[in-house]
Amino acid sequence: MPWLVRTSPVDMNTSVAELVGSSLHSAIADDALKDEDNAAWVLELEPEIRQAWIERIHWIRLADRLAESELVDGQPGQFQDFYAAWRWLRSTGKVQPAGVYRSLFESMHDRWFAQSDSIGQLSQDAWERYLVSLDRYNQRNLVLETIEDYEIMLRELASSFFQVLPFLSTQTWHLVGAFGIVDQFYNTLRDLREDAEQGICYLPSELLDRFGVTRGEILELRAYENPGYRSMMEFWIYEYLPKLHRRAYPFILSPDLHPSWQILRDWSLNRYHRIERVMRHCDYDYVRFPQVYWRQVQRDLVLLLPSRWGAVTSPTTSHKTVSFVDRRCKLRQFVALDSQCG
């Protein structure tokens, strides 16, 4: 089955993209490198913890890909079938006896329906919101009129799928949504050119109008020529974005995060800094940005995970086994949070 999550031990050369099927199904882009940028840290977790994360990322990636497939094809298809199978599971508590994704829904049943607990119910609610929002926002002619409309989109999409991820307590489940909003903001900033090339612009009309930038200029990749564009981006990143960051502080500063969430948080904050740094380096030119940014991502991945990203290993070190503690130390050093690990 094409979307079955791998349960065997992960080979040292296996990527997150391969595990969650980034290149399968019709979609706007091959998101393999995006998945590495977002979640390569997962491969450094202990096997049982890693598998739980890969499972949930797989569910999220599959739903996203199926929704994009319908956008590309221009007609209802597999996403609607997938959503119908979910509604059946949620209403009956049972998995449909037939279907391409039966094994996935069986896993979902085991996680959320086999036993009654508050986090399982909360996860079901979040998953429902995520699927509904995928259906709502995957459209080429989407226009978000106000900044509030933009925030609603961030909340319905990203807050929801962050609340589907594993190892959340009831308290951290309620906090993580604000962090998901920040994450989605950076993704839309990073993908501004890619989306524009597909006729999509998530920047709200209220923002564009305030600085005299047109949606057509964004979609035609010529907004950088507009004198108001740079001022718009500076406002968007340095005045509006900090408001989203402040709302996420209770999660970012929470002392009760599962260790895997601590790594995700640190990795993500490093990614956000990279996006901002490269955007400034490109003088906010979103047309130039992807080439510079993805080259930087590849370099960072080679530095952090050389065995998976093609760096040469010397004969004297190739046989060594690196403990999870050592790997986690390396991750934390990479995001410049620890100067040393003991």
User: What is the percent of the chain where pLDDT is above 90?
Assistant: 67
Q: Is residue 41 part of a domain?
A: yes
Question: What whole-number distance in Å separates Cα of residue 268 and Cα of residue 207?
Answer: 26
∠ CA 222-153-28, nearest 5°, is 55
User: Identity (one letter) of the amino acid at 191?
Assistant: D
Q: Does any domain span residue 303?
A: no
- Domain assignment present for residue 306? The answer is no
Least confident of 40-49, 154-163, 212-221: 40-49
- What tokens were used for 313? 């290993």
Q: Is the pLDDT of residue 144 over 70?
A: yes
Q: Which of 10-19, 64-73, 93-102 has the lowest mean pLDDT?
A: 10-19
In a domain, residue 102? The reply is: yes
What's the mean pLDDT in 310-326?
A: 37
How does residue 339 score in pLDDT terms, banded at 50, 70 and 90?
A: very low
Least confident of 197-211, 215-229, 324-338: 324-338
Query: Which is higher by pLDDT, 8 or 171?
Result: 171
Domain assignment present for 140: yes
- The model's confidence at residue 100, banded by pLDDT at 50, 70 and 90, is confident
Report the pLDDT averaged over residues 270-286: 97
Q: Give the residue-averaged pLDDT of 297-312.
A: 70
Comparison of pLDDT for 301 and 57, the residue scoring more: 57
What's the domain range around 53? 22-293+328-334
What is the Cα–Cα distance from 210 to 240, expressed in whole angstroms? 13
pLDDT band at 69 (very low <50, low <70, confident <90, very high): confident
Question: How many domains does the structure of the chain reveal?
Answer: 1
Does 9 reside within a domain? Answer: no
Kindly state the tokens that stand for 152.
């609603």
The residue among 307 and 89 whose pLDDT is bigger is: 89
Q: Which amino acid, 101? A: Y
Q: With beta carbons less than 8 A apart as the criterion, state whether 294 and 33 touch.
A: yes
Residue 313 lies in a domain: no
Predicted local distance difference test score (pLDDT) of residue 1: 27
Range with the lowest mean pLDDT among 73-87, 268-282, 323-337?
323-337
The pLDDT assigned to 75 comes to 66
Q: Is 307 inside any structural domain?
A: no
Residue 260's CB is within 10 A of a number of other CB atoms, namely: 21
Q: Which residue has better confidence, 34 or 75?
A: 34
The single-letter DSSP state of residue 28 is S
- What CA–CA distance (Å, rounded) separates 208 from 228? 9
pTM (two decimals): 0.83
Question: Which 8-state DSSP code applies to residue 300?
Answer: H
Query: What is the domain-level CATH number for residue 94?
Result: 1.10.600.10
Determine the longest span between alpha carbons in the chain, in angstroms: 60
Q: How confident is the model at residue 21 (pLDDT cuts 50, 70, 90)?
A: very low
